[in-house]
Amino acid sequence: MATVTATAPDTRTFAGTAWSWITTVDHKRIAVLYLVTSLAFFMLGGLEALLMRLQLATPEADVVSAERFTELFTMHGTTMVFLALMPLSAAFFNLLVPLMIGARDVAFPRLNALSYWIYLFGGIFMNISFVAGGAPNAGWFGYAPLTDTAFEATHAIDFWAFGLQILGVSSILASINFIVTIINMRAPGMTLNRMPMFVWMSMITAFLIIFAFPAITIGLVLLIFDRYIETSFFIPEGGGDPVLWQHLFWVFGHPEVYILILPAMGIVSEILPTYSRKPLFGYAVVAYSGAAIALVGFGVWTHHMFTVGLGPIADTAFAISTMAIAVPTGVKIFNWIATLYGGSISFKSPMLFAVGMVAMFIIGGLSGVMLGSPPIDSQVQDTYFVVAHLHYVLFGGTVFGLFAGIYHWFPKFTGRFMHDGWGKVHWLLMLIGFNLTFLPQHMLGIDGMPRRVHTYAADMGFDLWNMMSTVGSLMIGLSFLIFIINALRSIRHGEPSGGDPWDGGTLEWTIPSPPPVYNFAEIPVVDGRYPAWDIKRGGGHTGAVATAPEAGAEADEPDIHMPNPSYWPIVMAAGMVLAACGLIFHQAFILLGAMLFVISLVGWIEEPAG
Amino acid sequence: MTLANGDANRPVQGQRSTPLTYRRRIHTALLIPALAVAALAVAACGVTPQTTLEPTTEAARTARDLLMFVFWAMVVTFVLVEGALLYVLVRYRRRSGDGIPPQTHGNTPLEIGWTIAPAILVVIIVVLTVPAIFSNARAASPDALKVRAIGHQWWFEFQYPDIGVVTANELHLPVGRDVEIQLESNDVLHSFWVPSLRGKLDMVPGRENKFTIKPEVTGTFPGQCAEFCGTAHALMKFYVVVETQAEFTAWAETQRAERVPPTSDLARLGEETLTLGGCVACHTIRGTDSAGVLGPDLTHIGSRQHIAAGILENTPENMRAWLSDPQGVKPGNTMVIPELTTEQLDALVAYMQGLK
């Protein structure tokens, strides 16, 4: 059974289309689901940020209440990290990893769908809290004992703790899937040493997730025990220690920073060579420095805790490891600049975002070195200086990098360009808005404004910087609106792009846009790092890719065996999230959720694989 | 930014066919940083009482000096790296008729070079950092004044065990003498931070953190809780008053004493209202029946410069506002005030203003 057309649902009706998305196991469609959902959450997190900025624009303002403000900054951080940036990276893993390694799908297509549905339901679950008695309000790193029932008796923290557990399952499943895919499903001839840099960074990120998430999983289990069955892992009165939570959180939390930045680095490492028509400079060093960052990233976590009072020996040790991580990071930047050196650089909007990523990430790296020195950190820790630093890394770095990726691969998703002129307007507005928002926050921190304050007094000298910051944040909001309108318009009315609009070097540019369900009519044979360039420039010996069909090849669909659609992933995800609801709303949900889970497990196993 | 722009633009100038348009572009490019500098200058004129850049102790000075050194090192790095990036972008922009550029794949000596360069820079920073870490953690001299600072949601309690003083939200310290401050918490995490005296150190329930400073300058310095501790985190402030040894001794003498008995009828009514109104459950006023320990010790509340944990100046109007609507002034706070008549409110304010 199951040629590509045999099982396709009837997409002429709305119900048929919806059903085809609900049951899809195609990595490209799952990528679209991830992309759309994560951008929606990105917008939500952005609105939360704008509300905070409006509150802080002037001293002693009353735009939102103090209670609401604590919810806003907690959910802004949690949403951006877990519901926007990680899944946005996952959209790229989904779209690109199989295409770049010359595979027809990921190793476990149904597991891939399951990861997505768990993410979607987990994200909704966490945000239901806003209308179900109060949103999480202890900060995105939820320091004990503020998360204990003694200080937060409502379910606000439970939404947060169960929500993160659910999202962790999604991340770990996806990571296992991509590691297996990358290790086992590369096209013939694509050695590790020839993998596109984005695939390298995806693999390193997946390993990071698998090793980092267990720490927060354990932390959250202990927290849930503390809250539900009155253990006291983090409660000093019962012999526990709040600092234990900080260790567990940051053993996860610091690698998490690299989980967020490495995919963007991978994207930039693909885009810079494409638009300067030169291979990535120092390929091996860029790959190894990524691995080095990941490895050392597990040994720097207490630099988030320099003011906890761990003592001078611990502070010294972690200051040294923190400084050490600046070296591989610097190496990456030098290699990117060397990639551009001597090239023929074209400034299309994807390239502008990629260059913006490099330029802004440098600033985040430099302020990171300042924070790595404990005496300096003791002054600016927990102030707006840290807020500025982390946004230069995660917005200047990750968000710019991911937008570069969206503009670059949008034609691959849709077969159409995004409007380049409006893309450049988006870029310029976002670049100016971003710097206007976060550059002044360095000064606020040095002038003594703590983070997570819902207000400040008029006589503190914080007014001007805060007003600048708010104006900048509104510019970012506007630039995002321009992006959304541009993207929506371009899906239907964008200029047709053809299969290879940017003169790309990697395998995804050898097939039509949007790619056929089976990706490659014939699995390519690879003998270089830029097989598409080799073909186009006649330099390589890559065989099969040369025969890649252009759009319109659908007339003679080859008979390729693809996995069947399945509705079990969405049922299983629903079961898991319902069970979590049971611990908050009513115990009956636990039973219902467990039943759904078991039924879907049986259904999943019994389902013919295609 | 200005410098980087200039560097990157210069080599291009000669190659352009229309230098006039180009010059206009330079002007636009310079305008933005110029405006930024102007804004900086305006802001710098403002008063920032809580700044980290005006240290008054060895510890704060060490942090400031290190911050300035690393900051300038980072500025130099910034200019070099961003300058190189901009230069390359402008110099190698695509021109019509460009073919495929030479395909370079790497250069081992160069790559070793730019691995070593940042390594040298961070080694220098580490070498300067480590002694500062240890000097910030120095032990107190034997004659040091000992203070216990205890964090509460959302106020600071200060105890001087050796001289029998207990107060809140206003820490008095003698100038020129070692002070060892021991940090504790009564509920959640807080952080003790007075930027002009020292970097912050957390107040962790179940642990005792300690640091030593020697204040060098008299004056009043603002501080603030720097670890998120719940709804009113932003409103958990305090002041440190550094004074001469004689002033400090006199202050301690006053603080040790029992409360000043009320002198007017109104104030006497105030004391009565306070006792009957349930305030005693949480507050201590030594010399009366009030002996609660959940809220700040009010024995000498009238002598403090601020009320409500450093957020309001201690005036009769502010005291009245605070007592009329504690949750409005400080959201989340648990002070319960029973229904008061205007007269009772007047009496309470008069009484507490008199508790010098």
Whole-angstrom distance, CA of residue B354 vs CA of residue B356? 6
Domain count, chain B: 2
B152 close contact with A: CB closer than 8 A: no
Which of B149, B157, B4, B156 is closest to B75 using CA atoms? B4
The residue type of A50 is L
Residue of A62, A226, A353, A373 to mutate, interface with B, max B Cβ within 10 Å: A373
Q: Tell me the pLDDT tens digit for each residue of A19-73.
A: 999 999 999 999 999 999 999 999 999 999 999 999 999 999 999 999 999 999 9
Average pLDDT rounded to a whole number, residues A221-226: 97
pLDDT(B291) > 90: no
Half-sphere exposure of A249 (CA within 13 A, CB side): 19
Min Cα separation B231/chain A (Å): 6
As a whole-number percent, the residues of chain A with pLDDT over 90 amount to: 91
Could you tell me if B54 lies within 8 Å of chain A, comparing CB atoms? Answer: no
Facing B104 at nearest CB: one of A145, A342, A460: A342
Is A212 part of any domain? yes
Residue A325 in any domain: the answer is: yes
Mean pLDDT across B133-159: 95
Separation between Cα atoms, residue A423 and residue A349, nearest integer Å: 6
Q: In Å, how far is B59's CA from the nearest CA of chain A? A: 9
Q: Which of A242, A276, A282 sits opposite B205 (nearest CB)?
A: A242
Return mean pLDDT, chain A: 93
HSE-CB at A189 with a 13 A cutoff on CA atoms is: 18
Chain B environment of A465 (Cβ under 8 Å): 43
Residues of A in contact with B89 (CB under 8 A): 340, 345, 355
pTM (two decimals):
0.92
Query: Does the structure show a pLDDT above 80 at B24?
Result: no
Q: Give the nearest partner residue to B134 out of A312, A359, A378, using CB atoms.
A: A312
Question: Would an 8 Å CB–CB cutoff place B226 in contact with chain A?
Answer: yes
Q: What pLDDT sits at residue A560?
A: 82
Q: What tens digit of pLDDT does each residue of A244-256 get?
A: 999 999 999 999 9
- Determine the pLDDT at residue A353: 98
| Cα–Cα–Cα angle for A596, A602, A607, rounded to 5 degrees | 120
Query: Which residue's entry shows tokens 């006589």?
Result: A459
Task: Report the pLDDT value the prediction gives residue B3, as an integer from 0 to 100.
Answer: 37
Q: Is the dihedral of CA A214, A218, A223, A227 positive or negative?
A: positive
Mean pLDDT score, B39-43: 58
Test mutation, B103, B135, B228, chain A, max A CBs within 10 A: B228
Q: pLDDT by residue (tens digit) across A369-407?
A: 999 999 999 999 999 999 999 999 999 999 999 999 999
Inter-chain residue contact A146 with B228, CB threshold 8 Å? yes
Residue A538 has what pLDDT?
77
- Percent of chain B at pLDDT above 70? 87
Chain B residue numbers with beta carbons less than 8 Å from the beta carbon of A307 are 191, 199-202, 226-227
**With contact defined as beta carbons under 8 Å apart, do A434 and A469 qualify?**
no
Domain count, chain A: 1
List of residues 6+ apart from A88 with CB closer than 8 A: A34, A35, A38, A39, A42, A402
Does residue B6 have a pLDDT over 60?
no
> Which domain range does residue B274 map to?
265-353
Active-site residue set of A? 76, 105, 140, 170-171, 254, 256, 258, 269, 303-304, 329, 332, 451
Q: Are strands B179-185 and B209-213 parallel, antiparallel or unpaired?
A: antiparallel
Residue A550, pLDDT > 50, answer no
Q: How far apart are the C-alpha atoms of A82 and A84, rounded to whole Å? A: 6
Q: How far does the CA of residue B112 sit from the closest CA of chain A (Å)?
A: 9
Partner-chain contact B81 A362, CB within 8 Å: yes
User: Is the pLDDT score of A499 beyond 60?
Assistant: yes
Judged by CB atoms closer than 8 Å, whether chains meet at B126 and A460 is answered as no
- Calculate mean pLDDT across residues A85-109: 96
Q: Is the pLDDT of residue A130 over 90?
A: yes
Average pLDDT over residues A264-291: 96
Q: What whole-number distance in Å separates Cα of residue B229 and Cα of residue A151?
A: 10
Highest-confidence segment of A562-566, B88-92, B102-106: B88-92
Q: Tell me which residues of chain B, numbers 250 to 309, contact chain A at a CB-CB cutoff of 8 Å.
A: none
pLDDT at B8: 38
Digit-coded pLDDT (tens) for B92-105: 999 988 889 999 99
pLDDT score at B32: 64
Residue A1 has pLDDT above 70, yes or no: no
Using CA atoms, how far residue A169 sits from A222, A534, B311, in Å, is 17, 40, 45
pLDDT tens, residue by residue, B216-270: 999 999 999 999 999 999 999 999 999 999 999 999 999 999 999 999 999 999 9
Closest-CA residue of chain A to B55: A379
Of A148, A332, A121, give the one whose Cα is nearest residue A227. A148
Report d(CA A607, CA A572) in Å as an integer: 14
- Please determine, for residue B118, whether its predicted confidence score (pLDDT) is greater than 50: yes
Of A242, A379, A382, the CB nearest to B63: A379
Which CATH number belongs to the domain containing residue A506 in this structure?
Answer: 1.20.210.10
Q: Considering only CB atoms, which chain B residues are within 8 Å of A338?
A: 104, 107, 110
Residue B275, pLDDT score: 83
* pLDDT at position B289 over 90: no
Residue B40 has pLDDT above 80, yes or no: no
A324/B64 touch (CB, cutoff 8 Å), yes or no? no
Helices B342-353 and B265-276 pack at an angle, to 10 degrees, of: 100
CATH number at residue B334: 2.60.40.420
Q: Express each pLDDT in B257-288 by its tens digit.
A: 999 999 999 999 999 998 888 888 999 999 99
pLDDT in tens, B160-206: 999 999 999 999 999 999 999 999 999 999 999 999 999 999 999 99
pLDDT by residue (tens digit) across B316-332?
999 999 999 999 999 99
**A178-182, B30-34, B42-46: least confident range:** B42-46
Q: Is residue B242 part of a domain?
A: no
pLDDT at residue number A123: 97
CB contact under 8 A, B111 and A367: no
Cβ contact (<8 Å) for A285 and B106?
A: yes
Q: What pLDDT was estimated at residue B13? A: 38
Asked if residue A603 belongs to a domain, the reply is no
CB pairs under 8 A between A and B: 286
Asked if the model's pLDDT at residue B17 lies above 80, the reply is no
Share of chain A above pLDDT 70, in %: 95
pLDDT at A82: 97
Q: Assess whether pLDDT exceeds 50 at residue A552.
A: no
* Structural domain includes residue B195: no
The answer to whether residue B218 sits within a structural domain is: no
Q: Which residues in chain A are closer than 8 Å to B213, comparing Cβ atoms?
A: none
Q: Would the pLDDT of B89 be above 50?
A: yes
**Å from A429 to nearest chain B CA?**
14
CB contact under 8 A, A460 and B49: yes
Please report which confidence band the pLDDT of residue B16 belongs to, taking 50, 70 and 90 as the band edges: very low
Is the Cα torsion angle A222, A226, A230, A235 positive or negative in sign? Answer: positive
Range of the domain at A57: 14-566
Q: Which residue of A has its CA nearest to B44?
A: A461
State whether B191 and A285 contact (CB < 8 Å).
no
Give the model's pLDDT for residue A546.
Answer: 42
The phi, psi pair for A23, rounded to 5°, reads: -100, 5
pLDDT tens-digit readout, A66-79:
999 999 999 999 99
Which pLDDT value is given to residue A562? Answer: 85
Q: Which residue has the higher pLDDT, A556 or A591?
A: A591
How much is the pLDDT for B97? 85
In sequence order, the 6+-apart residues with CB closer than 8 A to the CB of B333 are B153, B154, B232, B326, B327
Give the pLDDT mean for A307-323: 96
Please report whether residue A101 resides in a domain: yes
Tell me whether B122 touches chain A (CB under 8 Å).
yes
Phi, psi of A230 (to 5 degrees): 55, 35
User: Is residue A134 a part of any domain in this protein?
Assistant: yes
pLDDT, one tens digit per residue, over A158-205 is 999 999 999 999 999 999 999 999 999 999 999 999 999 999 999 999
Residue at A480 is within a domain: yes
- The answer to whether residue B172 sits within a structural domain is no
Nearest CB partner across the interface for B52, out of A241, A366, A379? A379
B247 is a domain residue: no
- Is there a domain that residue B185 lies in? no
Mean pLDDT of the B39-46 span: 57
pLDDT at site B31: 65
Interface test with B, best of A308, A322, A376 (most B CBs within 10 A): A376
Looking at beta carbons, which residues of chain B come within 8 Å of A341? 88, 92
In B162-315, where does DSSP find H-type helix? 245-256, 265-276
User: Are the beta carbons of B201 and A346 separated by less than 8 Å?
Assistant: no
Lowest pLDDT segment from A232-236, A295-299, B7-11: B7-11
B chain contacts of residue A334, beta-carbon cutoff 8 Å:
81, 111, 114
From the list A240, A323, A363, the residue facing B125 with the nearest CB is A323
> Which pLDDT score is estimated for A547?
44
Amino acid, single-letter form, for residue B223: G
